[in-house]
Chains A and B, each alone.
Chain A
Amino acid sequence: MKFQKILVPLVAMVIFLILWELLVWANGWPNYKMASPSDLWPAYARYGELFVIYGWQTLWRTVVGLLLAIVVGTLIGMVMGFSRVMRDALYPLLVGFNAVPKATVVPIVALMFVGAHDFNTVLIAFMISFFPIAVSVSIGLSTLEPEYRDILRSLGASNMTIFWKIALPKTLPEFFGALKVAVTLAFIGTNLMEIVSPHGRGLGALFDSGKTNSDYPLMFAVLIALAVLGIVLYYIVVALEQIFAGWAERSPN
């Protein structure tokens, strides 16, 4: 069973790579139009060390941005979830903030904090990913059935106790749902900054250098590396969800 769970996606991936290779081969595309998997290995072999270093930079900045988004998003969500007035006040602001394409914010941030590259990247990753978390937490809290609150409140429990014992655990499934979206978004944020900002670091910068040097296989290799990192982070979140909110998943029988 467990074996199957790992094997099936692996087989699917191999099939995908074969199809990709075949597609490029059948159309006779040159590698600047569309690189094939067989073009990627040389790129990885040549820049292996860079991939490790830059991959790590991308990863840690994404994770820090995401952690920040979790803390701030949860706080904003709590404020909005508990107070009707704050919800009414903050919601349009948040929506507006979220609606601004982050690609336009990136150059502004890069100018505002020139040279603070790590900071900028983390900031963008955070800005792009906190919104779904804030919204899900606020919805989770504000839709808590009043009976849940009354059960504890009728015993004289404080709001803090109600939050820790009921409201927080009860919103965890929604929270993790949002976190899965936020992980992907944070990645987008990190890479946007890495690509746009000059003298960047991380996989985005590697991608950019591939572009300037017309090294197309390298660009594709970066894309695949990003996809792998994204998958890893995503499944880490899934694993955390299993641990902390596994109760929400009904066994299918």
Chain B
Amino acid sequence: MKTRHDCQRAGMIPARWQKPQTHNYEAGVGNLIDIKDVSHTFATDGGPLHVLDHLNISVPDGGFCAVVGPSGCGKSTLTRLIAGLMIPDKGEVWLHDERVKSPRSTVGMAFQNPVLLEWRSILKNVMLPLEIVPTKLTRKQQVERAEFLLALVGLEGFEDKKPSELSGGMRQRASLCRSLVHSPEVLILDEPFGALDAFTREDLWQTMHKVKAEEPFTGVLITHDLRESLFLGDQVVVMSGRPAHAQYVMDIPFNGPRVLDDLYSAETAERLAILRHQIEIAQGRAKAENPA
């Protein structure tokens, strides 16, 4: 098996993977999400905590951006910024040529914790956003929409069950349906599969691809799993340690539908090696090498 260093020595790694990609800051040129030069500092009991530092990320319309980075580097903070749950100290967040200043109903969110409401049936849980967001759907269409999504993720027949009757993976599927039911432009997933076992996780990756084929959203996925980022993303952003910027961006071309076997290809192995190396740099465990 080749190690990362073998790959680098053999010149197998394309140059664009070796240095951070520079971004197009021009407002919304085909980008749905634009994080422009965002810096943020939290006031904490232990003094100011500089979390984000000149962070730039762009995700094109329909793209799916996977974000990885060391623990505590500010990934969840990034999701909250995109969702408009908070405003950055400096810099701007743009969605669809509109500056984000407050939450908006065109965003869907799902977290590691599925946070289903235990007193509601699965169907009612999925329909929750439709009670908040203005919708043109009739009551019947709303139910159909929720049922469609539940079937899409393989939860047909579980509509009337309570969350406590479902397994962790099923709850996460339901949570995914809830984040999609109002057809958001932007889907934000913060480590949604982080608490699941390896097999369930792989099942859900495939489900994600199925969902992506049906639903036209632009996605941001926070993850700790590099293989997950490669399998689901068409762009992987490695965030540096705190204060975080986009240390490295890898584009992953879509050549036809992805299957799990792709994860065991030589190409993926190389990409994994690069990403792992970048994470080590971000964690401060490895020195950044100057690209030749």
Contact = CB atoms under 8 A, between A and B. Distances in A.
Interface of A: 145, 147-148, 150-157, 161, 165-166, 169-170, 245, 247-248, 250
A165 B85 contact: no
Contacts of A150: 80, 83, 85, 109, 111
A169 B119 contact: yes
B131 A154 contact: no
A247 B120 CA distance: 9
Contacts, number: 57
Contacts of A170: 117
Nearest to B164: A250
Contacts of B113: 145, 147
B228 to A, nearest CB: 20
Contacts of B133: 155-156
B150 interface: no
Nearest to B117: A166
Given A165-B131, A247-B162, A154 B115 contact: no
B85 A153 contact: yes
B105 interface: yes
Contact of A155 (B105, B117, B164): B105
Nearest to A172: B119
Given A154-B83, A154-B84, A161 B132 contact: yes
A155 B182 contact: yes
B104 interface: yes
A145 B115 contact: yes
A63 to B, nearest CB: 26
A165 B118 CA distance: 12
B60 interface: no
B62 interface: no
A161 B178 CA distance: 17
A157 B117 contact: no
A158 B145 CA distance: 25
Nearest to A250: B164
13 contacts: A145-B113, A150-B85, A151-B128, A152-B128, A153-B85, A154-B83, A154-B85, A154-B107, A154-B108, A155-B133, A165-B131, A166-B117, A247-B118
A62 B111 CA distance: 45
B85 A156 contact: no
Given A150-B85, A161-B132, A250-B164, A156 B105 contact: yes
Tell which of B80, B108, B111, B132 has the most Cβ of chain A within 10 Å: B132
B115 A151 contact: yes
B102 interface: yes
Interface in B49-108: 80, 83-85, 102-105, 107-108
Given A145-B115, A155-B133, A156-B103, 12 more contacts: A147-B111, A147-B113, A147-B115, A150-B80, A150-B85, A152-B132, A155-B105, A165-B128, A165-B131, A170-B117, A247-B118, A250-B164
B168 interface: no
A155 B118 contact: no
B52 to A, nearest CB: 18
B81 to A, nearest CB: 11
A136 to B, nearest CB: 17
